[in-house]
Amino acid sequence: MGEQKTGRIEFQTSPDRYRHWRIETDGEVASLIMDVDPAGGLSTDYELKLNSYDLSVDIELNDAIQRLRFEHPEVRAVVVKSGKENVFCAGANIRMLGKATHGHKVNFCKFTNETRLSIEDASENSRQVYLTAVNGTAAGGGYELALATDWIMLVDDRRSAVSLPETPLLAVLPGTGGITRVTDKRKVRRDLADMFCATEEGQRGKKAVDWRLIDETVVKSKWDDAVKARAKDIAARSDRPTDAKGVKFTPLKREITDNAINYSTVRVEIERDRGLATIIVKGPSSTPPSSADEAQAQGDQFWPLLLARELEDAILQLRFNEPTVGLILFRTEGEAKAVLDYDRFIAVNGDHWLMREVRHYLKRTLKRVDVTAKSLIALVEPGSCFAGTLAELLFASDRALMLIGRRDGDNRPPAAIVLGEANFGPYPMGNGITRLETRFLGEPESVAHAREKIGAPLEGEQAVELGLITVAYENFDWDDELRVMIEERVSFSPDALTGLEANVRFAGPETMETKIFGRLTAWQNWIFQRPNSVGEQGALKLYGSGVTPTFDRERV
């Protein structure tokens, strides 16, 4: 991708380190202000002009969204706006896209999609509702950012417009859900959507409202007052607490070595020569707090919240910084009862604002696991605690293996999984249903049978019979079978595996989210490799040069 300023992409940041965003709060309304530092990108090969963005901008945005949900429970409405005159956001930086590796482009789009979805999740599930105040041009990814919010305002100054110009200008598609949100979320008529996406200049004013591309236009003389009034109106409909104390996010305690990443609740062991990494998740070492207020007093050290933050970081580290690691093994360590106790605590205190946020953070982190382009295999062994929430990692995996009984000389209880209420609703996938419902799509009675086993340790043969794991092996076969499976998996084409996994993981209903990660991502992934876009005479390579691209006219 050119010369990067650091060798490793870092996802941990904080408002005092932001170079591209500002958070300003005023009671129940916050402003999230995009003011991109042109020299603040990941690489020295391009400048982030006109509020264009690269991954560094979205890393800060993701952090800001999380902090607003946890650190500012009093905020009910968030206004996304620009800190620059006459421009909202020019979208993803074209020079960055032209120079980035294919893998980085795809991972960048995926992370950006996840960030947009987290905005929608905040509006829907936290009642911290987002609106966008577009004060200039919102092009491509800039308009896609606005589309993720619940309400879009556009200044009516005869210059400001919204557009998705990727097809006519760059020979690609809007990569972060633009087309899907135009048709499925804003329900723009298909012929109008076709015209809009094929027009460089986009739409403005009354026509943009009539086509449902935006919600309202406001003349410049009334702009500031109108934005404030709209934010106040939206805030008045929220149920977020007005007097709660937020939970401050502190830097993760993390140690990175050549072959490992160690956190408090997660450990990652990397074997690059074998193309695999093992993620070991540690169950809680203490009982849940006595009350939601006590949990709030624990801050970001509350076990489920700490787990969500650390597992999320581990997944992102592997995605971006370990591209040749194609296989992840999930292991767990701890007591199943302790995990289930925390699940029950969150459920019992489900009306508390913090428990709601923790539950949805865990949901979003598990969704990151679902869409990670690496093979996922869960290993259930003595000492494991695949129970409740942690059993979701097993159901997110492409395969699950269980050791029957114990190992010689091991006095721990036999390997088992334990189901809890958390496996039957709180953590839906992008398709809108649970991982168990997706697993048993053609046999709903199997979900009912599994539910009857809540709380019971399910060992090898019983777990196989219930369809909860793929295969169980005796102790004397375990090591050999595991070795053969790993060697076989890493010998396959990574491209074919990515396609295989993306197809089988998301059975069931199609939603806007699955369309974005499935249909859109698949097409964009393909288009980003075609010479019509990225070839030497392609539109993305020649953009801004004044030279007309040369297209291969054969349709595929």
pLDDT above 90 (res 197): yes
- 278 band by pLDDT with thresholds 50, 70 and 90: very high
pLDDT at 3: 42
Note the CATH number of domain 15-235: 3.90.226.10
pLDDT tens digit sequence for 93-112: 999 998 899 999 999 999 99
Amino acid letter, 204? R
Of 500, 322, 272, the closest CA to residue 399 belongs to 500
Q: Mean per-residue pLDDT for 186-209? A: 96
Residue 196 and residue 157 in contact, taking contact as beta carbons nearer than 8 Å: no
Amino acid letter, 402? M
Rounded CA-CA distance 53/48 in Å is 6
**Domain spans, the chain:** 15-235, 255-505
pLDDT at 276: 97
Q: Do domains 15-235 and 255-505 have the same CATH topology?
A: yes
Q: What is the pTM for the complete model shown?
A: 0.96
**How many other CB atoms are there within 10 angstroms of residue 487's CB atom?**
11
- 2 band by pLDDT with thresholds 50, 70 and 90: very low
SS3 504: helix
Q: Mean per-residue pLDDT for 356-382? A: 97
- 1 band by pLDDT with thresholds 50, 70 and 90: very low
pLDDT at 138: 97
- 410 band by pLDDT with thresholds 50, 70 and 90: confident
| DSSP per residue, 237-286 | T----SSPPP-PPPPP--EE-SSEEE-SSEEEEEEGGGTEEEEEEEPPSS
349 token code pair = 């205190």
Q: Mean per-residue pLDDT for 246-267? A: 97
Q: Mean per-residue pLDDT for 251-279? A: 97
pLDDT at 315: 98
pLDDT tens digit sequence for 497-546: 999 998 899 899 999 999 998 888 788 888 888 999 999 999 988 998 99
Rounded CA-CA distance 118/62 in Å is 8
In whole angstroms, how far apart are CA 387 and each of 334, 372, 375, 456? 10, 22, 21, 10
pLDDT above 90 (res 233): yes
Rounded CA-CA distance 160/137 in Å is 5
Q: Which residue has the higher pLDDT, 247 or 542?
A: 247
pLDDT tens digit sequence for 22-44: 999 999 999 999 999 999 999 99
| Mean of per-residue pLDDT scores for the chain | 95
Q: What is the DSSP letter of 547?
A: P
Q: How many CA atoms lie within 13 A of 524 on its CB side?
A: 28
Q: What is the dihedral of CA 424, 430, 432, 435, to 10 degrees?
A: -30
| Percentage of residues in the chain having pLDDT higher than 70 | 99
The conformational region for residue 454 under phi > 0 = left, psi -120 to 50 = alpha, else beta, is: beta
SS3 366: helix
pLDDT at 5: 52
pLDDT tens digit sequence for 326-352: 999 999 999 999 999 999 999 999 999
pLDDT above 70 (res 85): yes
Residue 549 and residue 532 in contact, taking contact as beta carbons nearer than 8 Å: yes
pLDDT at 409: 82
For the domain made up of 255-505, give the CATH fold: 2-enoyl-CoA Hydratase; Chain A, domain 1 (3.90.226)
